Structure 1
Amino acid sequence: MLNKMLVIGNVGRDPEMRYTPNGSAVTSFSLAVNRYYTPAGGERQEETEWFNVVAWNRLAETCNNYVTRGMKIYVEGRLRSNSWVGQDGQTRFRNEIIANTVQFLDRRQGGSGYGGPPGEPSGGGGYGADGGYGGPEEPSDADDLPW
Structure 2
Amino acid sequence: MAGVNKVIIVGNLGKDPEVRFMPNGGAVANITVATSDSWKDKQTGEQKEKTEWHRVVMFGKLAEIAGEYLKKGSKVYLEGSLQTRKWTNQQGQDQYTTEIVLQGFNGVMQMLDGKSSQGQGGGFANQGQQQGGGFANQGQQQAPQQSGGFSNQPAQQGGFSNQGQQQKAPAQQGGFAQQQQGGFAPQQQAPAQQGGFAQQQQAPAQQGGYQQQQAPKVNPQEPSIDFDDDIPF
Match of 1:128 in 2: 125
Match of 1:49 in 2: 52
Paired amino acid for 2:126: A
What are the ranges of 5 or more consecutive residues in structure 1 without an aligned counterpart? 107-113, 135-147
C-alpha distance after superposition, 1:51-110 (max 9, x if no partner): 11111111111111000001111111111111223223433221111121111111xxxx
1:75 aligns with 2:62: no
1:17 aligns with 2:19: yes
- 1 CA distance for matches of 2:129 and 2:68? 15
TM, length-normalised to structure 2: 0.49
Match of 1:5 in 2: 7
Superposition deviation, residue 21 in structure 1: 1.7
Identity of aligned residues (%): 36
Q: Which has the higher strand share?
A: 1
Q: 1:105 aligns with which of 112, 120, 130?
A: 112
Match of 1:94 in 2: 97
Larger Rg, first or second structure (1 or 2) = 2
SS of corresponding position for 2:66: helix
Q: 1:29 aligns with which of 25, 31, 38?
A: 31
Aligned residues: 124
What are the ranges of 5 or more consecutive residues in structure 2 without an aligned counterpart? 132-233
What value does the CA root-mean-square deviation take over the aligned residues? 1.9
Match of 1:85 in 2: 88
- 2 CA distance for matches of 1:91 and 1:133? 41
